Amino acid sequence: MDAAAKSLVVFGVYLLLNAVGLVFTPNIVLGLFELPATNEPWIRVLGLLAGVIGYYYIFAARHGLRALFPATVHGRGVASAVFLGLVVAKLGPWQLLLFGAVDLLAALWTHFALKQRAT
């Protein structure tokens, strides 16, 4: 497994871990980030979506679906920008910057791994 595929597996595992926490113990996860507790179902839906996307990342990496790799870089870059925009516009809590930073760093890892492989 090359570095780009490894970066997708690592990010996929990160998403799966978030998913487990958000689906089964959402208020513990929210509390870790000093966010208010909730009984709304949407946090669990978010966890489910994170888990499905994490599975896709791992599946793509393990099966060499390289056409998807650059799309993950673009998607994570957009996610980072949207998180930043939400915080700047005061539409989201500052903690979104933490998730945006992870997305951005992981996207950069994949991006540079893809560039290195191309040379």
Describe the chain by its helix, strand, coil percentages, rounded to 5: 80, 0, 20
Q: pLDDT digit string (tens) for 67-110?
A: 999 999 999 999 999 999 999 999 999 999 999 999 999 999 99
When pLDDT is cut at 50, 70 and 90, the band that residue 118 belongs to is confident
What pLDDT, on a 0 to 100 scale, did the predictor assign at position 48? 98
Range of the domain at 25: 3-118
As for how many domains the chain has, the answer is 1
> In this predicted structure, what is the pLDDT of residue 117?
78
Report pLDDT digits (tens) over 47-71. 999 999 999 999 999 999 999 999 9
Q: Is the pLDDT at 39 greater than 90, yes or no?
A: yes
**Are the CB atoms for 74 and 82 separated by under 8 Å?**
no
